[in-house]
Structure 1
Amino acid sequence: MSERRKVRFYSVQYEEDRKRKKSGVRRTVSEAFEMVTRKSIASGFSNGHKRGHSLKATTLAISSFSTRKRLRSKRLLSKHMGSSVNLLDAKNYNPYQAAREGLVEILRQKFETDYSFRVNDLDEDGLSILHHATRYNQDEVVVFLCSIGGIQVDVRSAGEEQTPLHIGALYQSEKAVACLLQAGADKNAKDNKSRTALHYAARRGHVTLVKMLTSLPDCYVDWPDIDNTTPLHMASVNGNAELVDVLISRGANLMATDCNNMTPIMLAAADGHNGVLQKIFDYAENMNKVCEELVNHKDIEGATALHLAIQNQQYETIKFLLDKGANVMERKENGVTALHLASAQGLTAVVSLILDYYAIIDCVDLEDCTPLHRASQYNHVKTLEVLLQRGASANRKDRDGLLPIHLAAWKGQVDAVKFLLERTDHENIYEIDVFDKTALHWAVENGQYECAVILIKYGRTRLIQMKDYSDMSALHYAAKKGNLDILKLMLSNNAEVGAKDRDERASLHYAAKYGHYECVKALLDKSGQETNDSDVDGRTPLHLACLSGHNKILSLLLSHGADLSNRDDHYCTPLMLASATGHTSTIQLLLLNHADVLANDRLKNTSLHYACANGHVQIVLALLDARADVTVRNSQNQTPLDISIENFQQEVAITMLKHRCWRECMEMKDEVGMSPLEKLIIKLPEAAKILLDNTSQKSNLDDSDPSLTVLYDFRYLDPGPDELNQANQRYYALKTMATYRREKLLSHPICQANMAYKWNSFGRKMCAMNVLFYIVYLTVLYLHAKGNLQARNGTDCYPNITSDTFYLTAKQDFLISTRITQALLFILVIISCCREMLTIYQQKLASLVIVDNWCAIAVIISTILFTIHNKSPCEYYRRSGWITIFFVWLNLTLYLRRVPYIGIYIIMFLQVLASLMKAVLMFLFFLLAFSMCFHVIIEKDHSEINPFRDMITTLYQVFIMTLGEIDFQDDFLKKFKKFQPFDTDVYFLLAIFLFIMPVVLMNLLIGIAVGDIGQIQANAHVQRLSMQVDLLGYTENMLPGFLQRRVYKRQLQVQPNKSSLSFLERLGNFLSGKDNSKIKVASPEGEEIDFNIQNQITRQTRSIRKLEEEVATVNKQLKEIVEHFDKDKTLISYRGDYDGTSPPRRILSSQTLSPTAIARRKFFMEGGMIPHS
């Protein structure tokens, strides 16, 4: 790099550092010092150009900074800037830069002239002046700074909390460190990682500094950092023998352990630092320490120094440790010895060396694997040869019964397999493990073609025909895994194609199930006799192919004579299995080949039942187009539509109701005589709406055409009086809608039309009769009360001695009119009793929770008390009179909730009342509070005109004042003198009252009522419709059968756009309660929008389901891949066991069986079968 480009480079780097500072990123100490150097160079470059100096001067300045030679820097600056260093302007000079450059005079002038500067302040990088001076070994600056009063020798940096002594030890600033120690710096000071200066000196290998620090009294030579690492650990890792010698001579603990329980010896052995090991063991021998104790220490995984040396292939270190007494039979936690590790890595020389130290050649780990197993598993032929020459047994099995040849075949180690077959007994090729698998089984299952070729060459037909514990031969595994080359290899060596496992499955079954087309083709070309063979569940290869949706295999099997009518043990055909699993293309292929859509299984379920139960819309549509029977019932008396409703398959139900066979679906009633509509309303309201659309037929005219006609079919909403269920009750679908609050369904045009025609036919007549009944009731009550009071002659009331209750002392003479009204009231009471008894009979226990019934009972009781002849006393008579009138009016109001036009406002009134009642408790608290205050503070004169004379009148007065009726002049202003001396209190209390009660509280109540008005109006609409439906149903059921038949209409044709009523007729209908509203007809545009939205939702749902199926398939494949590659787990990590992968068993587990073995056993126990739907 040229000089000019070098200067530019440092300037750019300095600008980047400045931007980083502005972004708030904290630097480490090392980064901070690099930043300082760049800043110095950049400033020198800038000053050089400002003063017109040459590039050479700036380059020399860069050289002076990089070599950190203070005197030369001073001379260069003095020469090229044209002035002496002592004459530089101290005010404009950075003191941190002066400390780095060793400019003591600049610093002295800075501290003498700038009193605002504090020596312990940290710069933007979190470093003090003393840190900078120590970093560049400016001993004169350090001495000067330490002489300043108030200096903190152990000032800490930001972030890492390092003292200047840490910095000096890190950058080998020997003079500065000496000055700091002389100034009293804490030699044992710790940073945020609990490291002392000795740690940094040992890590960087600064022998002089280590000697300087350890020579001080009370120096913590064995102080552990946050990882329990001592300075001796760091020196051992770096391999600095001289440094280790210094630390040991200063008393460092040779057996100190870090967080992994590793000693310095283990760290040195792992990296092959033999010089460090020699120093440690020489010192141990001089101190008469036992070397075996040092060399055989174990870490947290049970590894010794010998294990670590072998793991990192440090041959010289291994020899050294063995000479020092390393135990070759020491085991790790998983039982691995040094010989296992060496064999697994193929360290033949190390294996021979370990065996020379009397290692047991057939030692086993926790998996009962010998070193020969490990060498075979990782294809180390030379190691195998050494082990066999030294007497290793090739017939030794591990815990899962695997021989070395099994592991070599499983891993595909061709050389190892060849060597073992040539050098060991050939009969080992027929040996089996705990799963009765041979080496050929393992090779085929894992797709090791070359190993399979060698094994078949030696084992021939006998080996090919051998079966494992599930009676599966190697050919089964080849078909299952889809290994075409291996399958052809075995077929060419006379493998038995028709061999069955314990589930009675041939190889063709597995190839068809797992979708291996080429394997299926090869097997069929070899022998087609197994095409229609059944397994233990009665399923043929065709069943399994349909179950998994393998269409190519399906076509291939059909072309080779597979029978579509074959049934499994549950009497399921291939079409049923494909319908249950949702393979649409498979269904279409089966239907093209004339599969029987009417066939049923053992439970009488058809393919359509299976498709409906599992929500496969496209399959349902395909089966319906293929003339599937929608009326057939299974053993639980359920049709396909019933199945879809029961399983909440709304899309399926919608599809069936949109199909041309929807009437056949709806005609099928259940065992109690109910049509599917009730279940649709309860569980699938959107599907019920489709049915309502189907029963409304419009003429082919524009919606705005006056001649438009709409034909409504009520046969499903209201089957009629002659179609009763088993409970002898008439079904009315609108009651179910009202019960479950299906607002959209109740608002549907056909439902509105049904309610309108029923209301106009008999509802309004019955409503008028009820209203007339209440009017007569009220009239008779009023006449009776008026005549009874006029009949009193010379009555007089006087106060009783013991109470304030008044009594009428004169005899009452009743008029004839009074007796007539009394008789009429008795008649009305009898009628009311009959009506109420009939209502209770109709509603059963539900009548107990209906307010209308309790109001009617109250009217009956109060009327009886009101009409009983009385003389004296007459108190209860007057009281029962007003109660009766009140409840009659209340009953009339509640009844009118069911009437169009005005009913919704009554319901809204009641709901607003219910909302306001929520705030009654708070209102009551304030009412009582102000009432008690006014009653206490205002003088009580007990006059009749004083509203605060007692607590009861005070409560009423405060309540009236809350409503805004405040007579300030009479109640407060004229009585000002009576309030003294509490006049201020009264007016203060009144001011609070006026603000809280009439303003805040009343506005709050209004806000509660108005804020909920939208929701209240919506709820009121639904509730009015529900009440109207209840009224119509109740009234219709009260009619005799002949009248019900007379008013019943199965169909209704209306012209919604034509109105022939005059204004007077409309007014008369309004007054009589007749419904004049036009029946709404959904516009085609709206229907099209709804239809498009529904289609969009349907498509999205199908896409999601398809993605779910694909994800499930991918997960299944990944699971198989993981099970396969789980066997390739790394055997040796940095401090692990082996450098390779573990066998398909629990090498590092203490369980009885490995996870892979458990998975295999679980698969075989389940037979690889998908449970029956």
Structure 2
Amino acid sequence: MNGYTQTIELLLSVHSHLLDQTDKDGNTALHLATMENQPNAIALLLTVGCKLLYNESGMTAIDYAIYYKFPEAALAMVTHEDRAQEVMMLKSSKHPCVTLSLIASMPKVFEAVQDKCITKANCKKDSKSFYIKYSFDNLQCPSLYAEDDGKSIKKPEPLPALNAMVTHGRVELLAHPLSQKYLQMKWNSYGKYIHLLNVTIYSVFLAFITCFSAQLMEHQKPITSLNITNLSHEEYIAVSKENILNVQVSHAMYVCGLAIIFYLAVNCLREVVQIYQQKVMYFMDPINLVTWLLYASALVMVAPIFGSTMYDSQFSCASLTVFLSWFNLLLLLQRFDQVGIYVVMFLEILQTLIKVLMVFSILIIAFGLAFYILLSRGEHLSFKTIPMSLVRTFSMMLGEIDFLGTYVKPFYMTNEEEKAFLPFPLPAFFILGLFMVLMPILLMNLLIGLAVGDIESVRRNAQLKRLAMQVILHTELERKLPQFLLERVDKIEIIEYPNDAKAKLGFFDSILRKWFGNPFSDDALDMVMDNGEDYVITELGKTKKKLKEITHTLEVQQQFLRLIVQKMEIKTEADDVDEGVSPSNMHQNGNSSKWTSPKIRKKLRSVLSFSNRNH
């Protein structure tokens, strides 16, 4: 099939039974047109009402378009005026869902599908009756969960299309107005209420943690009056620790402790359910490990007050619990627009810093061991042991070198009270100079450069990250919410009247937008969609493709002309020159040329007329 649509129309007008006739492999005309990537023939066959049949391999025409990656053929089917939805509902063993397959293999085609799902009123844009209709059928993937008779076979997987966009990194699809509006519908229906409730409950837990920690340090019995002048240093430390652990437990501490334990019990049960659902993937998320560390340290902090003995670990865990609980509050703010973008930037820079330090920790170990060898025998407490030397080297990397106290005074022995000196002065100054060049100057400037570069990349991808967070949030919520509730709040389509949008904004939403911003910001959308560089690259690709097609057509025509010349035994001017005949002689003997022969002219006219009929 070569895409001759007029020939197809003539054949079908006479032999209508050929429309759905199959060959030995079960392929129909639509299958063959798809295999040959003929979009005009595909559109014609769909328009005249061909059936969407399966061949002997159990594949439809759209399956072959996706398999061979023919965007023109796929675009002709999924954007057809009357049959597009019927094509999108097809399913096979190769591609259980057309939507997911297009997102994975041909995102540009699915972007056209998204464009088709947005319709506007046929009136002036500044009119109050102007509306925009968003249809979410293709984002919900109903073909995944329906039998041939249309009955549901299992609970739908939450947001399958949007999760596929996140998995494959389809920025342009997530940033599309249809995807944004679909997430906004979910957010307005139940997402913002549940998320704010979660933040509020966690804030109450955080208040109990902070109050308990403050009470733990304030309610101490006075230190026993002892004659400390007669005590050794070790005895003084032991007495001081004993008085620190002698805590007077108040009623407020009991209330805070019970509230903390109740919160931990409920959330540990929730985490166990998530472990059962996600299996090994649960432990791949570092935030989950931080959460368990928070729960464990909080339990160790609170449990001793219900007994009769306090431990040193209680205070250590209290410091860890306070830090992790406030840090976790920072993570909860990621999903809000105006404050969440800064949290995303912070976490991105933190990941970069960890990666760089893992590589350049080799230099920290190298300089730490070198300083330990050169300074430990010189009565320098900062380098007395290897661990202390490594920590001191890390602090020196930040600029705290203490050149006067560590090197100058011990070198000249000016301080008689201290016994510090430099056992090996020349190697010590050489290693110090090398350290100052490599660590505070070179490495720190490298980290600053990476940080600035990461901030720019985060800003460019801010919309994708926020939308990905919204997808993850709603996916987790829909797994936990009952199906009947989701069916009540979920919508297949929404109609918006942009000119009346401000009048419908409620008090609660106005407060949210004022302090936290809208998670679906139009400015961020424009920043992602209006990428001039991507547009230029796309247009260049289209131009190159057209040039290749023109070159191929010219080559075919040139080959066809050569065949005509060879068939008619015509000698060209170049052939005569090769045989020793000059062009001037050719013009003089023009009347005797073969081109003037009536027989040759008749043959040439017949060949040209045959060629025109084929085209």
TM-score, normalised via structure 1 length:
0.41
Corresponding residue for 1:656?
77
Change beyond 3 A, Cα 1:991–1:1029: same
2:156 to 721, 726, 729: 729
Shift of 1:999: 1.3
1:808 to 242, 247, 254: 242
For 1:917 and 1:1049, locate their aligned partners in 2 and report how far apart those are by CA, in whole Å: 43
* Residue pairs, 1:46-65, within 5 angstroms: none
Listed one character per residue, the Cα deviations across residues 282-322 of structure 1 (whole Å, up to 9, x for unaligned) are xxxxxxxxxxxxxxxxxxxxxxxxxxxxxxxxxxxxxxxxx
Q: Is the 8 A contact 2:59 2:92 kept in 1?
A: no
* Residue pairs, 1:884-1033, within 5 angstroms: 884-938=321-375, 942=379, 947-978=382-413, 979=421, 986-1019=428-461, 1021-1033=463-475
Corresponding residue for 1:853?
288
Corresponding residue for 1:1047?
489
Q: Is the 8 A contact 2:375 2:423 kept in 1?
A: no
* Residue pairs, 1:357-506, within 5 angstroms: none
Q: Is the 8 A contact 1:787 1:818 kept in 2?
A: yes
Corresponding residue for 1:482?
none
Q: Secondary structure at the match of 1:868?
A: helix
Q: Is the 8 A contact 1:611 1:619 kept in 2?
A: yes
For 1:800 and 1:980, locate their aligned partners in 2 and report how far apart those are by CA, in whole Å: 30
* Residue pairs, 1:543-692, within 5 angstroms: 579=1, 587=8, 590-591=11-12, 593-595=14-16, 596-625=18-47, 627-666=48-87, 668-670=89-91, 675-692=97-114
2:221 to 787, 793, 803: 793
Listed one character per residue, the Cα deviations across residues 101-160 of structure 1 (whole Å, up to 9, x for unaligned) are xxxxxxxxxxxxxxxxxxxxxxxxxxxxxxxxxxxxxxxxxxxxxxxxxxxxxxxxxxxx
Q: Secondary structure at the match of 1:737?
A: helix
1:778 aligns to 2:196 (yes or no): no
1:835 aligns to 2:279 (yes or no): no
Shift of 1:697: 0.9
Listed one character per residue, the Cα deviations across residues 1080-1100 of structure 1 (whole Å, up to 9, x for unaligned) are 6999x99x9999889767755
Q: Secondary structure at the match of 1:659?
A: coil
5+ unaligned residues in a row in structure 1: which ranges? 1-578, 1122-1173
Change beyond 3 A, Cα 1:995–1:1072: closer
For 1:721 and 1:622, locate their aligned partners in 2 and report how far apart those are by CA, in whole Å: 25
Q: Secondary structure at the match of 1:767?
A: helix
Q: Is the 8 A contact 1:908 1:1016 kept in 2?
A: yes
Listed one character per residue, the Cα deviations across residues 253-275 of structure 1 (whole Å, up to 9, x for unaligned) are xxxxxxxxxxxxxxxxxxxxxxx
For 2:7 and 2:319, locate their aligned partners in 1 and report how far apart those are by CA, in whole Å: 79
Q: Secondary structure at the match of 1:605?
A: coil
Shift of 1:646: 3.0
Change beyond 3 A, Cα 1:845–1:969: closer
Q: Which amino acid aligns with 2:99?
A: L
For 2:187 and 2:174, locate their aligned partners in 1 and report how far apart those are by CA, in whole Å: 15
Q: Which amino acid aligns with 2:521?
A: S
Q: Is the 8 A contact 1:666 1:677 kept in 2?
A: no
Greater relative CO, 1 or 2 (CA 8 Å, sep 6+): 2
For 1:639 and 1:1033, locate their aligned partners in 2 and report how far apart those are by CA, in whole Å: 31
Listed one character per residue, the Cα deviations across residues 939-968 of structure 1 (whole Å, up to 9, x for unaligned) are 76758xx54444444333332232123444
* Residue pairs, 1:342-357, within 5 angstroms: none
Shift of 1:753: 1.2
RMSD: 4.5
Q: Which amino acid aligns with 1:682?
A: A
Shift of 1:681: 1.1
Corresponding residue for 2:597?
none
Q: Secondary structure at the match of 2:21?
A: coil
Q: Is the 8 A contact 1:774 1:888 kept in 2?
A: no
Q: Is the 8 A contact 1:808 1:874 kept in 2?
A: no
For 2:339 and 2:110, locate their aligned partners in 1 and report how far apart those are by CA, in whole Å: 30
Listed one character per residue, the Cα deviations across residues 1060-1118 of structure 1 (whole Å, up to 9, x for unaligned) are 569997554242554463496999x99x9999889767755755776798899999x99
- Pick the structure with greater CA Rg: 1
Change beyond 3 A, Cα 1:839–1:982: closer
Which has the larger displacement, 763-772 or 978-987? 978-987
Q: Which amino acid aligns with 1:999?
A: I
For 2:232 and 2:153, locate their aligned partners in 1 and report how far apart those are by CA, in whole Å: 68
1:744 aligns to 2:172 (yes or no): yes
Change beyond 3 A, Cα 1:805–1:903: farther
Shift of 1:1001: 1.6
Shift of 1:702: 6.5
For 1:972 and 1:908, locate their aligned partners in 2 and report how far apart those are by CA, in whole Å: 40
Corresponding residue for 1:709?
131
Q: Is the 8 A contact 1:799 1:806 kept in 2?
A: no
1:1077 aligns to 2:521 (yes or no): yes
Q: Is the 8 A contact 1:608 1:620 kept in 2?
A: yes
Change beyond 3 A, Cα 1:613–1:871: farther
For 1:1104 and 1:843, locate their aligned partners in 2 and report how far apart those are by CA, in whole Å: 54
Q: Secondary structure at the match of 1:964?
A: coil
Shift of 1:825: 1.2
Q: Is the 8 A contact 1:712 1:1051 kept in 2?
A: yes
For 1:666 and 1:963, locate their aligned partners in 2 and report how far apart those are by CA, in whole Å: 62
Listed one character per residue, the Cα deviations across residues 499-533 of structure 1 (whole Å, up to 9, x for unaligned) are xxxxxxxxxxxxxxxxxxxxxxxxxxxxxxxxxxx
Q: Is the 8 A contact 1:1056 1:1078 kept in 2?
A: no
1:699 to 113, 121, 135: 121
Change beyond 3 A, Cα 1:1030–1:589: same
1:876 to 313, 317, 339: 313
Listed one character per residue, the Cα deviations across residues 386-420 of structure 1 (whole Å, up to 9, x for unaligned) are xxxxxxxxxxxxxxxxxxxxxxxxxxxxxxxxxxx
Listed one character per residue, the Cα deviations across residues 165-217 of structure 1 (whole Å, up to 9, x for unaligned) are xxxxxxxxxxxxxxxxxxxxxxxxxxxxxxxxxxxxxxxxxxxxxxxxxxxxx
In percent, how many aligned pairs have the same letter?
Answer: 27
Q: Which amino acid aligns with 1:907?
A: V
Q: Secondary structure at the match of 2:140?
A: coil
For 2:512 and 2:8, locate their aligned partners in 1 and report how far apart those are by CA, in whole Å: 63
Q: Which amino acid aligns with 1:956?
A: V
Q: Is the 8 A contact 1:931 1:954 kept in 2?
A: yes
Change beyond 3 A, Cα 1:1032–1:1065: closer
Listed one character per residue, the Cα deviations across residues 215-247 of structure 1 (whole Å, up to 9, x for unaligned) are xxxxxxxxxxxxxxxxxxxxxxxxxxxxxxxxx
Q: Secondary structure at the match of 1:656?
A: helix
Q: Which amino acid aligns with 1:645?
A: I
Change beyond 3 A, Cα 1:1000–1:730: closer
Change beyond 3 A, Cα 1:921–1:737: closer
For 1:1102 and 1:1046, locate their aligned partners in 2 and report how far apart those are by CA, in whole Å: 52
For 2:426 and 2:539, locate their aligned partners in 1 and report how far apart those are by CA, in whole Å: 73
Change beyond 3 A, Cα 1:956–1:705: farther
Shift of 1:649: 1.9
